[in-house]
């Protein structure tokens, strides 16, 4: 595995890759790699000749009071995991390499970023859209891979790529879960053993949503009310939102009867903020 | 000359160009071509194998009450002029091709856009940065060429290209002037014969600034005062700004003694808004 901390040598390497006629798959990450990331690497491997991974804890997508400084970082472990997965090139730039003095350009996707995570984390998606634009311009992949757990992020980036006429395709890969359903997340390491057990409340709520819609409940507000009650019954959980929205516009839906709905959750377990989501659909529709 | 109204066939053509190992020079324009544009085409021809020109009156860089609807358009004449200059490919998309339904991504360069034109035309540089990002991603040129008359636009775009890690180089080409010094502009056609004579006040002010600094005047406020008086003495002129600024940061300078200063002007002649600029430097320095 080749590793790069600077943009220019990475560009030189990638020029060589493209001159050989090879396709490039790209997985941008913030490190603290887990099975969810590895699933992205493996998917990239099946679709592309060369797999490029970035590890960059992007300061501009963290708000004041968020966990930029405490976000888990373990580069040596990450390098080993990526190398074991036969990642071809790993890019781990410094903050100064990505945001040199004088930097002042921002990419915004205001409508998709106005809701859910964006409404609770002002500036978050501006930071995401900006750093991903930069990374896509540096790597110029054929396909870039994102996890479904951060579904709104995928939508924002997919919109941005199309709006700015970037040439790469954006692929979304299903969420990888622990045996008890907890979605893999680098932030799960923050959880105490007791919190770790409580954290399954997100998956339990998503499963409840699926059961309700399968049993014929068609009113979104009725489903939301039951999910909220389920989450509120967990003493260590503080609910931030339970949203039933259109999976492309992220606008609230009222009836679940007509098609696929995205259930999106944000819950604090102690001081750790977790998100998860699932598609639900009434009997006969395809989720 | 090949002409394209849609992005996909243009991309296919350009892929062929690059596969032949040819370099691409790109000149984005809003049409109503004049000698200033032709100078950009010729400069592109000297530096690159293939010259691509776009003609697109970009609605997102016009504010409410500005001249988007009346902006001069003459595609047949423009096609003839570009063809005479041996432009290789001309891209003239529709508004729907550039901004399809659902479009919502914006590129902002807030600090450089906060002053001069940006302070009087809110949203202007957001529209410029966004459409130029799109065009650069569509054409993927080796070099893109901009006129010095819109010097702040050049700075914004150059910053944006570096900040977003686009690979092209941005070149600025000196302003082309009429015999009496009026900077070439598509908006000059708005001027009545009497206004056309009055419009030389911008060039006269720039020449006065040069004379003052050459004669040893070192105080920026003294130069500004004299330029303002010169402009205000022209009955058909309404002054918007006279700015003496650092040519990289666009921040106001107080002394002209230490290096090169940008003099930037915006003046209304009747209802027509004109801008112009020049670099000035004290004796011994190089402008």
Helix (H, G, I), strand (E, B) or coil at A42: helix
Pairwise CB contact (< 8 Å): A163 & B138:
no
Q: Is the dihedral of CA A98, A99, A101, A105 positive or negative?
A: positive
Listed by start position, the domains of chain B span: 2-173, 186-278
Name residues whose C-beta falls within 8 Å of residue B102's C-beta, 6 or more positions apart in sequence: A159
A259's tokens: 């098609």
Confidence of residue A285 (pLDDT cuts 50, 70, 90): confident
Q: How far is B226 from A151, CA to CA, in rounded Å? A: 59
Q: How far is B58 from B62, CA to CA, in rounded Å? A: 8
Class of domain B186-278: alpha beta
Q: What is the pLDDT of residues A88-100, one digit of tens each?
A: 999 999 999 999 9
A88's tokens: 């071809």
Are B108 and B88 in contact by the 8 Å Cβ rule? The answer is: no
Q: Which residue of the set A37, A69, A124, A254 is catalytic?
A: A37
Å between B190 CA and nearest CA of chain A: 33
Q: How far is B161 from B145, CA to CA, in rounded Å? A: 13
List of chain B residues whose C-beta atoms are within 8 Å of the C-beta of residue A163: 103-105, 134
- Residue B252 DSSP symbol: B
pLDDT of residue A123: 97
Q: What integer best gives the mean pLDDT of chain A?
A: 97
A139's tokens: 């790597």
Pairwise CB contact (< 8 Å): A165 & B138:
yes
Are B267 and B237 in contact by the 8 Å Cβ rule? The answer is: yes
B187's tokens: 């908006």
pLDDT of residue B77: 98
Residue of A113, A161, A154, A114 whose CA lies nearest to A136: A161
Between the two ends of chain A, the Cα-to-Cα distance in Å is 38
B129 part of contact set with chain A, CB < 8 Å: yes
Q: Which residues of chain B have pLDDT under 70?
A: 286-287
pLDDT higher than 60, residue A65: yes
Confidence of residue A286 (pLDDT cuts 50, 70, 90): low
B24 part of contact set with chain A, CB < 8 Å: no
H-type alpha helices, chain B: 7-19, 35-47, 75-84, 95-98, 116-120, 124-139, 151-163, 193-198, 201-214, 220-232
Instruction: Tell me how far the alpha carbon of residue B262 is from its chain's centroid.
Output: 15
Are B188 and B182 in contact by the 8 Å Cβ rule? The answer is: yes
Q: Supply φ then ψ for residue A225, to 5 degrees.
A: -60, -45
Burial (CB < 10 A; 0-12, 13-18, 19+), residue A11, is middle
Are A153 and A46 in contact by the 8 Å Cβ rule? The answer is: no
pLDDT of residue A237: 98
Are B67 and B39 in contact by the 8 Å Cβ rule? The answer is: no
Count of CB atoms situated within 10 Å of the CB of A176: 18
B112 part of contact set with chain A, CB < 8 Å: yes
Pairwise CB contact (< 8 Å): A105 & B129:
yes
Q: Which of B7, B105, B164 sits opposite A163 (nearest CB)?
A: B105
B108 part of contact set with chain A, CB < 8 Å: yes
Confidence of residue A258 (pLDDT cuts 50, 70, 90): confident
Burial (CB < 10 A; 0-12, 13-18, 19+), residue A161, is buried
Burial (CB < 10 A; 0-12, 13-18, 19+), residue A168, is middle
Q: Is the dihedral of CA A187, A115, A151, B7 positive or negative?
A: negative
Burial (CB < 10 A; 0-12, 13-18, 19+), residue A173, is buried
pLDDT of residue A180: 98
Q: Give the chain B residue whose CA is nearest to the CA of A112.
A: B104
Are B135 and B28 in contact by the 8 Å Cβ rule? The answer is: yes
Q: What is the pLDDT of residues A87-145, one digit of tens each?
A: 999 999 999 999 999 999 999 999 999 999 999 999 999 999 999 999 999 999 999 99
pLDDT of residue A284: 80
Which residues of B participate in catalysis according to the annotation? 37
Q: Which residue has the tokens 């009725």?
A: A222
Q: Does domain A186-280 have CATH number 3.30.1300.10?
A: yes
CATH of domain A2-173: 3.40.50.620
Pairwise CB contact (< 8 Å): B105 & A138:
no
Residue of A56, A28, A30, A71 whose CA lies nearest to A273: A71
List of chain B residues whose C-beta atoms are within 8 Å of the C-beta of residue A7: 165
Q: Which of A7, A106, A165 sits opposite B165 (nearest CB)?
A: A7
Helix (H, G, I), strand (E, B) or coil at B93: coil
Q: Which of B7, B106, B112 sits opposite A165 (nearest CB)?
A: B7
pLDDT of residue B128: 98
H or E element that contains B279: strand B272-280
> 3-state SS of A65-128?
CCCCCCCCCCHHHHHHHHHHCCCCEEECCCHHHHCCCCCCCEEECCCCCCCHHHHHCCCHHHHH
ipTM of the complex in this document: 0.96
- What are the CA-CA distances from residue A3 to residues A11, A13, A287 (Å)? 12, 10, 39
Q: Supply φ then ψ for residue B166, to 5 degrees.
A: -70, 155
Pairwise CB contact (< 8 Å): A107 & B112:
no
Q: How far is A25 from A23, CA to CA, in rounded Å? A: 7
A47's tokens: 């679709």
Q: How far is B247 from A197, CA to CA, in rounded Å? A: 60
Pairwise CB contact (< 8 Å): A165 & B137:
yes
- Residue B174 DSSP symbol: P
Q: What is the pLDDT of residues A196-247, one digit of tens each?
A: 999 999 999 999 999 999 999 999 999 999 999 999 999 999 999 999 999 9
């Amino acid at each position: 595995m080749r590793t790069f901390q600077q943009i220019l040598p990475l560009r030189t390497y990638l020029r060589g890759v493209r001159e050989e006629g090879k396709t490039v798959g790209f997985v941008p990450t913030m490190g603290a790699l887990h099975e969810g990331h590895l699933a992205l690497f493996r998917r990239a491997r099946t679709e592309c000749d060369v797999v490029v991974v970035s590890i960059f804890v992007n300061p501009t997508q963290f708000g004041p009071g968020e966990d930029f400084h405490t976000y888990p970082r373990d580069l040596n472990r990450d390098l080993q995991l990526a190398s074991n997965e036969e990642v071809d090139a790993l890019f781990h730039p410094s903050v100064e390499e990505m945001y040199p003095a004088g930097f002042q350009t921002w990419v915004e996707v205001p409508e998709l970023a106005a809701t859910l995570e964006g409404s609770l984390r002002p500036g978050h998606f501006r930071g995401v859209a900006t750093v991903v634009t930069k990374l896509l311009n540096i790597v110029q992949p054929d396909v870039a891979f994102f996890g479904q757990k951060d579904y709104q992020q995928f939508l924002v980036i997919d919109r941005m790529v199309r709006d700015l006429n970037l040439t790469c395709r954006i692929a979304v890969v299903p969420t990888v879960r622990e045996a008890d359903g907890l979605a893999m997340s680098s932030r799960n390491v923050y959880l105490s053993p007791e919190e770790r057990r409580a954290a399954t409340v997100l998956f339990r709520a998503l499963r409840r949503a699926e059961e309700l819609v399968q049993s014929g409940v068609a009113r979104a507000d009725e489903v939301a009310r039951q999910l909220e009650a389920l989450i509120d019954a967990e003493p260590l959980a503080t609910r931030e939102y339970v949203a039933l929205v259109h999976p492309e516009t992220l606008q609230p839906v009222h009836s679940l009867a007509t098609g696929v709905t995205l259930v999106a959750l944000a819950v604090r377990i102690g001081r750790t903020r977790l998100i998860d989501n699932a598609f639900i659909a009434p009997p006969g529709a395809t989720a």
